[in-house]
Amino acid sequence: MEQENEYAEELEPISDQPQLPRVKSSKPILGITAGDINGIGLEVVLKALSHRKILDICVPVIYGSSKVVSYHKNIVQLDDVTFVGQRNADRLAHDKINVVNIWNDNVNITLGKPTDLGGTFAQQSLEAAVKDLKLGLIDAIVTAPIHKKSMQLAGFEHVGHTEYMTKEFNAADSLMLLVADRLRVGLVTAHIPLKDVSKSITKERIISKLRIFSETLRIDFGFERPNIAVLGLNPHAGEEGMLGDEEEKIIRPAIMECKKNGMMAFGPFPADGFFGSGQFNKFDGILAMYHDQGLIPFKALTFGGGVNYTAGLPVIRTSPDHGTAFDLAGKNEADPSSFLQAMFMAIDIYRNRKEYHELKKNAVRKVAVEMENEEGGEMH
């Protein structure tokens, strides 16, 4: 049913008082995109932000529209959640939820349906958040779900968030990584048709994904020497060539080269037995060959609490592991757990990266001091 936006409640108005000089927050500043305004995105965002501890650990910044956020707030009936409207992210309230107004027009919200307007506003929200991330005004992005058809109708040129972020930050490659508790599943190929998977899997591509995976497990997740299981492409991992030769010609050689370079990579493992036997519990990460090979077992084991993380970028981007769920839009039935976990993970990765770079800096400084002392000793 098409609903016009009749906003029963406005957010806290934008202040016209002169702005004070910008002060850097001691907490990470999380940019939150609105996603598709016709789906459950803003519902799970608002429910996640109602968590009583959230303002103690981060500064949330929603990129969208005060009016649209207010509309969705009325649906979820969170009277105790308050917001501060902002013209931009230059001056934020560090103890409140901020809404940066990207558009001020009244918008027709068509709950549960893909529309070009839904895609247009999702794209505007994403672009504004990415711009501020590049400027250093925010520390990480948590993206609400978008709908591929809506984005296509709006002229969005990318398959999804992962591909868009990879291009925007000029990364040579990236890794779509699904995370929940101790389960971390990366993908060699992501949003491509199944018929194109086999020809898209190359030795070089697997090596690139394994390098990103190993590095992100070390830096972003704190594993000193992460061990990664690599799945085969074919049933029974090819059965020694009887059911396909990609394992012997491509996947195994890639694993062997990574091992020679010091990585802890193992496989290829038959995917069905690997998950069915619980073998996945023995590894820090699992590299699947294609989308459904990795995501079907992942979601079966973790549905509702998983996080999608784009590894391999110089910036931090997380999102819930679900889509727009148009069938639930407007019913106040969406579970915010995955979005809340995406926020927590963005904060954790921000802290881990900060600690890693500080330790690295201190190590370099220590070596420099030791070298100076040695040179000084020789002079005497």
Domain at 261, CATH number: 3.40.718.10
Half-sphere exposure of 248 (CA within 13 A, CB side): 9
Note whether 153 and 286 are same-domain residues: no
As a whole number of angstroms, the distance between CA 266 and CA 322 comes to: 29
Q: Give, to the nearest 10 degrees, the angle between helix 337-379 and helix 203-219.
A: 80
As a whole number of angstroms, the distance between CA 70 and CA 6 comes to: 10
Task: Please report where in the chains the tokens 């608002």 appear, as a residue.
Answer: 46
Q: Is 263 exposed, middle or buried (0-12, 13-18, 19+ CB in 10 A)?
A: buried
Note whether 95 and 178 are same-domain residues: no
Note whether 278 and 344 are same-domain residues: no
Note whether 127 and 211 are same-domain residues: no
As a whole number of angstroms, the distance between CA 212 and CA 38 comes to: 35
Mean pLDDT across 297-320? 94
As a whole number of angstroms, the distance between CA 100 and CA 81 comes to: 16
| Residue scoring higher pLDDT (366 or 302) | 302
Angle at 222 between CA 272 and CA 256, to 5 degrees: 50
What range does the domain containing 228 cover?
A: 173-307
Task: Give me the pLDDT at residue 1, please.
Answer: 38
Torsion angle of alpha carbons 334, 336, 339, 343, nearest 10°?
160
Note whether 106 and 120 are same-domain residues: yes
In tens, the pLDDT along 201-245 reads: 999 999 999 999 999 999 999 999 999 999 999 999 877 778 889
Confidence of residue 358 (pLDDT cuts 50, 70, 90): confident
Q: Is 337 exposed, middle or buried (0-12, 13-18, 19+ CB in 10 A)?
A: middle
| Residue scoring higher pLDDT (10 or 91) | 91
Half-sphere exposure of 215 (CA within 13 A, CB side): 15
Residue 27 has pLDDT above 90, yes or no: yes
Burial 70-91 (b: 16+ CB within 10 A, else e): bbbbebbebeeeebbbbeebee
- Residue 82: which of 55, 56, 117, 103 has the closest Cα? 55
Those residues whose C-beta lies under 8 Å from the C-beta of residue 242, and which sit 6 or more positions away, are none
Note whether 217 and 157 are same-domain residues: no
Lowest mean pLDDT among 15-29, 150-164, 207-221, 231-245: 15-29
Task: Give me the pLDDT at residue 16, please.
Answer: 42
Those residues whose C-beta lies under 8 Å from the C-beta of residue 292, and which sit 6 or more positions away, are 194
Residue 43 has pLDDT above 90, yes or no: yes
Which of the listed residues 247, 278, 307 is the one where a domain comes to its end? 307
Mean pLDDT across 107-131? 95
Which of the listed residues 307, 329, 363 is the one where a domain comes to its end? 307
Note whether 201 and 240 are same-domain residues: yes
- Residue 322: which of 36, 80, 122, 50 has the closest Cα? 36
Confidence of residue 14 (pLDDT cuts 50, 70, 90): very low
As a whole number of angstroms, the distance between CA 271 and CA 273 comes to: 6
**Is the separation of the CB atoms in 294 and 184 below 8 Å?**
no
Note whether 195 and 153 are same-domain residues: no
**Is the separation of the CB atoms in 160 and 146 below 8 Å?**
yes
Confidence of residue 11 (pLDDT cuts 50, 70, 90): very low
Note whether 27 and 161 are same-domain residues: yes
Structural domains counted in the chain = 2
Mean pLDDT across 295-312? 93
Tokens found for residue 263: 């990585």
DSSP letters for 40-83 = THHHHHHHHHTSTTHHHH-EEEEEE-HHHHHHHHHHHT-TT--E
Mean pLDDT across 149-156? 94
The H-or-E segment that residue 179 falls in is strand 175-180
Note whether 181 and 166 are same-domain residues: no
Three-state secondary-structure class, residue 203: helix
Confidence of residue 136 (pLDDT cuts 50, 70, 90): very high
Which of the listed residues 253, 278, 307 is the one where a domain comes to its end? 307
Mean pLDDT score of the chain:
90
Tokens found for residue 79: 């009277």
| Residue scoring higher pLDDT (15 or 263) | 263
Note whether 365 and 332 are same-domain residues: yes
- Residue 101: which of 50, 61, 146, 55 has the closest Cα? 61
Task: Please report where in the chains the tokens 């992942």 appear, as a residue.
Answer: 298
Note whether 279 and 341 are same-domain residues: no
